[in-house]
């Protein structure tokens, strides 16, 4: 096992967790920003001016996953980080599916943007599976 590769995997997993913290914090503090990150529009003129409470709930749950990855990484629990990354890839896959099915139903540009976001999530999911499996196998 290469120490340099393990250090790179630790750094990359910490960066992924920080990205997750950033994105999911938006679900708690700025619903319009969070929705735009996923390609959904936030229409204040909708029939209900109260945002769906499920969005911050799911953002908070995802935030806890990012904190778990950071905590395990800080403690040097490489195999645990790997398991969490693999589990997180499921969320990336589902997010990509939902984006592809439900976003961009309008113009051609909106559909293309939704497709890019879906492929971005799936790419991140494959990265998490690969790196997570490597960390489970080679981690300390």
Residues of the domain holding 17: 3-40+52-138
Q: Are 59 and 24 in contact (CB under 8 A)?
A: yes
**Statement: residue 8 has pLDDT above 70:** yes
Domain assignment present for residue 47? The answer is no
Looking at the domain assignment, is residue 97 inside a domain? yes
pLDDT of 49-63, one tens digit each?
666 778 888 888 889
Query: How confident is the model at residue 32, as a pLDDT?
Result: 81
Of 124, 120, 136, which Cα lies nearest the Cα of 84? 136
In a domain, 83, yes or no: yes
Overall domain count for the chain? 1
Please, are residues 128 and 85 in contact by the beta-carbon 8 Å criterion? yes
User: pLDDT per residue over 59-75, tens digit each?
Assistant: 888 899 999 999 999 99
Report yes or no on 46 lying in a domain: no
In a domain, 60, yes or no: yes
Assigned domain for 45 exists: no
Cα angle 61, 121, 51 (rounded to 5 degrees) comes to 45
Alpha helices in the chain (DSSP H): 3-29, 31-37, 54-74, 78-102, 108-138
Residue 50 DSSP one-character state: S
pTM: 0.83
> For residues 88 and 65, what is the distance between their CA atoms, to the nearest angstrom?
8
**How far is the CA of 95 from the CAs of 7, 56, 88, 102, in angstroms?**
29, 16, 11, 10
Confidence (pLDDT) at 38? 77
pLDDT of residue 45 exceeding 60: no
Residue 86 lies in a domain: yes
Residues 80/88, Cβ–Cβ less than 8 Å:
no
Answer yes or no: is 103 within a domain: yes
- Dump pLDDT digits (tens) for 79-122: 999 999 999 999 999 989 988 887 766 678 877 888 888 899 99
């Amino acid at each position: 096992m290469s120490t340099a590769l393990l250090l790179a995997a630790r750094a990359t997993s910490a960066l992924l967790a920080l990205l997750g913290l950033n994105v999911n914090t938006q679900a708690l503090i700025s619903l319009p920003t969070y929705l735009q990150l996923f390609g959904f529009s936030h229409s204040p003129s909708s029939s209900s001016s109260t945002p769906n409470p499920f969005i911050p709930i799911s953002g908070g749950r995802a935030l806890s996953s990012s904190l778990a990855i950071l905590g395990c990484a800080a403690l040097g629990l490489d195999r645990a980080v790997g398991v969490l990354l693999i589990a997180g890839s499921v969320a990336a896959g589902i997010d990509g599916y939902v984006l592809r099915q439900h976003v961009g139903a309008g113009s051609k540009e909106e559909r293309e943007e939704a497709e890019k976001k879906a492929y971005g999530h799936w790419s991140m999911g494959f990265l998490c599976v690969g790196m997570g499996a490597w960390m489970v196998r080679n981690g300390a």
